[in-house]
Amino acid sequence: MLALGKLLELTLAGREPAQQTQVTVEGVRLRWRGEGALEVSPPEGKDNGLDLLLSAGIHGNETAPIELLEKLLHGVASGEIKPRSRVLFLFGNPEAIRKGERYIEQDINRLFNGRHEQASGPEAQRAAVLEKFAETFFKVPGRDRLHYDLHTAIRGSKIEQFALYPYKEGRQHSRRELVRLREAGMEAVLLQSKPSITFSAFTYEQLDAEAFTLELGKARPFGQNEQVNLDRLETRLRQIIEGNEPAADDTLDGLQLFSVAREIIKHSDHFRLHLPADIENFTELSKGALLAEDLAETRWVVEEEGARIIFPNPKVRNGLRAGILIVPDSGQRLG
């Protein structure tokens, strides 16, 4: 296997490779683009026109997706996986990965779409670097663009594997991409309805990629991810890389769709979230229940039928989202 296939090993060691470009026997080119970044190009004449960005480790303690990308990259470097797509493998927050922490100073996935320019510290600097990696990779016009940003969650979930689909005014969510997600093992998709500041929102809104944040189970240390079954996702990613995805019907049977009803924003240190500390994502909420309180008699009461909560976190910084209230979506607005 080519040495550049050991991107995780290089990243954990914090060192550059001796050779920054290598070519497999079959003509697949591997290029080291910077810390935690490796670009794969198919052999001449085999390119199918897809640019695929696969990122993981935006949060350093979310190791199952990192291990999955390492496995795929090993397959490419050894010749087992034969790419027809261009692929950029990205490990998002190397310093946090090395320390096994979610982040060093602040959540990097709240620093995209211009937010890093209003902040300082290692995560702000890295967010700017990640945006530049993505811009450079997606700069060739006329190609299909796809980005999967792979995560695991802080807490357990009633629906273990699900995706978040960013929003851009005037652009419809794609039924074809939702079918692809279903085939990759996603059980639900949250169709977002406002711009965001995550990495996938940046590539969707600014670079016109089809982009998704994938939540793949609960965060655990390296080597302890036996309970996270990513077989269907791994199979689908291999097929996308090799350009041999099997045909699938265009129904969304088996995939639950949700939309955002409201975001719960923490305004001050007086914020209180009236939910159990161990509540799971997608827990159903009773209509009329008091959800949260903050300054100036700000109260969030559940008003929606069928409402559920995801990403509840009262420990976020003031001004950030402390939870999302979601409701079932019919999917009638899909493109």
Residues identified as active-site: 215
Q: What residues pair up with 194 in beta bridges, in sequence order?
A: none
Q: What residues pair up with 237 in beta bridges, in sequence order?
A: none
59 annotated as belonging to a binding site for a ligand: yes
CB-CB contact of 294 with 278 (8 Å):
no
- Lookup: tokens for 209: 């990629």
Q: What residues pair up with 293 in beta bridges, in sequence order?
A: 272, 299
Q: How far, in Å, CA of 177 to CA of 175, rounded? A: 5
Q: What is the torsional sign of CA 264, 308, 305, 273?
A: negative
CB-CB contact of 312 with 275 (8 Å):
yes
CB atoms within 10 A of CB 298: 13
62 annotated as belonging to a binding site for a ligand: yes
List Cα–Cα distances, 97 to 25, 57, 63, 92, 101, in angstroms.
Answer: 32, 7, 8, 9, 7
- Lookup: tokens for 318: 């003031």
Residue 252, CB-side half-sphere exposure with 13 Å CA sphere: 20
Report the chain's C-alpha Rg in angstroms.
20
- Lookup: tokens for 185: 């093992």
Torsion of CA 39, 83, 165, 185, to 10 degrees: -130
Annotated binding-site members for Zn(2+): 59, 62, 151
Residues placed in the known binding site:
59, 62, 151
